[in-house]
Structure 1
Amino acid sequence: MQPLSHPSRRTFLGAGGGMIAVSSLLGAGTAAAATPEATATAIDDPHYHLAEVRLEDGFTHEGGYVAATRTALYTLEIRDGAIAAIHAADVVLDASVPRYSAGGALALPAFRDMHIHLDKTFYGGPWQAPLPRQGKTIMDMIAREEVLLPKLLPTSQERAEALIELLLSQGTTMVRSHCNIDPVSGLKSLEHLQAALQKNRDRFDCEIVAFPQHGLLHSKVEGLMREAMALGVDFVGGLDPTNVDGDMKASVDAMFAIALDHGKGVDIHIHETTPAGAEAIRYMVETVARTPELKGKLNLSHAFALATLPEAELDPLAERMAEHDVTVISTVPIGSLVMPLPRLREKGVTLMSGTDSVIDHWSPFGTGDMLEKANLLAQVYGGRDEFALTRALAIATGDVLPLDQDGNRAWPRPGDAAEFALADCSCSAEAVARRSPRVATFHKGRLVHGAVARA
């Protein structure tokens, strides 16, 4: 199957992702002669076959190294949202079961974007770049947001829906979205986000973090945060307890108190790179250590202070984090600060990633593409060879990989949820290196974006 060129940024960021997917599929492999009438842009059949799906079979070695990835075509039998069976391409199947074709596209585990802001975005509206940030503190940015939010609220639901469509076009079916809880928007951002999610409930899963963007203590929103807990959010958020709230322990304690009172997890933005940032991380980890109810419920988003620690300080902290199931969620930043992600992984810390801001007043560069995060991980940490590229994919999929370390198929297996993206590429290493176009996305067995051929 010949690789396709990437769409232009205008097309990529537009609302026509589905049409891109259709044309990509129809231009490749066995679907080349298909007509629009021979394609399906939705599959609601509870039981069907998806033929000509490329799956990874193992590694080819040369001189002791992984030199290539072997693949072959299979038919996935999908029933009631799960992969019921994986059939060899030449097996004769029940002709009464509806049949579709992936046209030789590679199946990848569906992507998980575990740090994004669906509730406040410029996406879906006219182009708007952020104002200059030179010399601006986080408090200055919060002041800007207090002016901006009332302007965004009237269209925030529609923009969230457009952003969900973008994510689906990239193969992402699960996200964790932070949602502002602040004095300016009150609970309106949450209301609008939940309405957008309700419209997409059969296509897309989302965990919501109630996020006190203007400071839990600074903006006096503890009452609103507790109201949000009662409205079905999944996590208590927080933000830079020293730089924003001015009292690290009081801020962190208040955040944990809300979590404990409502039986929720915690996901805190911790950007601070001063010693106060490392002190806050240690304090939170030790709070979890002495509070069994919080084990496995602390997520540190960004956690930039970890990048400032010498190995002699980082290692025991990372081991403590692993012991108490503390997760680090990194956007894989590029620049002067390099997060010690391989070292954290080596010490047993669970890592996740997300695309964070997709075109908003913080950044204009978001693409909503989790393959971009896998690509960045490979570039930043030297993953240039076939094997390393396949391992980099884990940051985008919640550690689900097609092949294990020894090259045995780990995914998909019969019984797995039918959650996957179809990509126009030969293997996962190519997908990571080239950010290969996705042609279709499946969620719980349903085709939720793009197109496949009717076979």
Structure 2
Amino acid sequence: MTALKDSPYLLADVRLEEGFETDDDVIVATRTALHTLEIRDGRIAALHAAGSTLPAGLPIYQANGRLALPTMRDMHIHLDKTFYGGPWRAPRPRQGKTIMDMIALEEKLLPQLLPTSVERAEGLIALLQSKGSTVARSHCNIDPVSGLKSLEHLKIALERHRQDFVCEIVAFPQHGLLHSKVDGLMREAMQMGVDYVGGLDPTNVDGAMEKSLDAMFQIALDTGKGVDIHLHETSPAGVAAFDYMIDTVEKTPALKGKVTISHAFALTRLSPEQLEETAGRLAANGMTIASTVPIADLMMPLPKLTEKGVFVMTGTDSVIDHWSPFGSGDMLDKACLYAQLYRGSDEYQLSRSLAISTGGVLPLDNDGNRAWPKVGDEASFSLAEASCTAEAVARVSPRTATFHKGRLVSGGVDKAPG
């Protein structure tokens, strides 16, 4: 990787989007132009059009015409437990296995994973950075087997990358908040720099929906933290849990804007009328959805949620662990999948699909005006071998460099002579 320690500096020949091109009022292409970014104190201090006079005396690096994309955000990953970085290890067969069976398996695996969990977390961080992600939200096990060790190890890994990676932590009771009796451990975790209280399938795992959800919300209220719960349940119990959580947030102002429901598969079981009402209530209460964009028989109503004003995020979940071996760690891959499942293959829809991977940040707004980057924006972005966002999404174009607050954190760029 090219050492880039200068500040300020210039990054020349960066391809930025300028607007849409139309044919009979149909968007058929994206117009781009080359610019030089002036990066100073971690931010974009100026955008210099091609051919303009550049500030004298600043070191110049070359993007060589590559497309700038906003930093990606992996908003649902488990950095604390992974096979990544170790020898190949496929998950065991899942057929006929319940979530309780998987929890029992994990209780045996955790002692094997803990000794290398710091190094493997760092390996995952490097993978995410290589794919253009410098922002993440990681769930971290809080369970009777690992206690607070998984959290302690994750914090070590994140501290080593505090200059080049931003990560929120969710204290995750993977073995059930009530089932594994970890209320006390969860509260200890809240004092260790954790951002969110996690939860898991309150009926299938804890066997007491209201009691489990009440306990989760109470920890959040007592500590002033947010909530991010894994809700896989698709049965009527999953729908009931959804309704109960929305009811709770509606009558508890302190929780508004602070609750994320991850996976949220119960949404696939709602009628159009129920979905319309539920999505409206989610939006009204600032409740967000974190979806891994599943490709099984669960066609998530993600476009409807967005249409109703619900903020939808995506994430890797597992790169490779005892749950799944298929994760790429690439949010552009998720945007491509989202486009295939829900958006379409035309220039406009492909370009809009990037939003699920960047926290809603897009180079062009819906009317084709440049929305990013602007002077003053944080200099966090990746360079892709693509002519425009639509191509990058459709082809999952390689990223050649990733910058975080002006620092080159993955890949490389050439330094201009002189």
Q: CA deviation at 1:95?
A: 2.8
CA deviation digits over 1:271-312, x for unaligned, max 9?
000010011011001101100000000100000000111111
119, 127, 133: which is aligned to 1:166? 127
Matched to 1:317, the amino acid is T
Once residues 328 and 377 of structure 2 are traced to their aligned partners in structure 1, the CA distance between those partners, rounded to angstroms, is 28
Q: In structure 2, what is the equivalent of residue 109 of structure 1?
A: 70
- Contact 2:16-2:35 within 8 A present in 1 as well: yes
1:451 paired residue among 400, 407, 412 = 412
- State the Cα distance separating 1:42 from its structure 2 match: 2.9
Secondary structure at the aligned position of 1:381 is classed as helix
Q: How does 1:269-284 map to 2 (within 5 A)?
A: 269-284=230-245
Q: How does 1:11-410 map to 2 (within 5 A)?
A: 41-410=2-371
| Structure 1 position 383, deviation (Å) | 1.6
Q: Matches of residues 435-450 of structure 1 in structure 2 within 5 Å?
A: 435-450=396-411
**1: distance between equivalents of 2:258 and 2:312?**
14
Contact 1:419 1:444 (C-alpha < 8 Å) held by counterparts: yes
The alpha carbon displacement at 1:43 in A equals 1.9
Tell me which moved more, 386-395 or 342-351: 342-351
Aligned residues: 416
Greater Cα shift, 92-101 or 103-112: 92-101
Q: Residue type matched to 2:87 in 1?
A: P
Letter in 2 for 1:232: G
Deviation at 1:382, TM superposition (A): 4.0
**Paired residue for 1:4?**
none
Q: Please report the TM-score for the alignment, with normalisation by the length of structure 2.
A: 0.99
Q: What is the CA-CA distance between 1:94 and the residue it aligns to?
A: 2.3
CA distance in 1 between counterparts of 2:7 and 2:196 reads: 33
Q: Which amino acid aligns with 2:46?
A: A
The amino acid that maps onto 1:296 is G
CA RMSD of aligned residues (A): 0.7
Name the CA distance, whole Å, in 2 between partners of 1:258 and 1:78.
42
Q: Any runs of at least 4 consecutive aligned residues in structure 1 with deviations exceeding 3 A, and if so which? A: none
Contact 1:383/1:392, CA 8 A, preserved across alignment: no
Q: How does the TM-score come out when normalised to structure 1?
A: 0.91
1:284 is aligned with what amino acid? M
Give CA-to-partner distance per residue, 1:114-142, whole Å, 9 cap, x none: 00000000000000000000000000000
Residue 238 of structure 1 aligns with an amino acid whose one-letter code is G
Amino acid at match of 1:266: V
Q: Which amino acid aligns with 1:403?
A: L
Greater RCO structure (CA 8 Å; 6+ sep): 1
Q: Secondary structure at the match of 1:402?
A: coil
Q: Which amino acid aligns with 1:99?
A: I
Q: CA deviation at 1:215?
A: 0.1
Distance in 1 between residues matched to 2:129 and 2:10, nearest whole Å = 22
Cα distance in 2 for partners of 1:85, 1:61 equals: 29
- Provide the C-alpha distance between the structure 2 equivalents of 1:186 and 1:382, rounded to a whole number of angstroms: 43
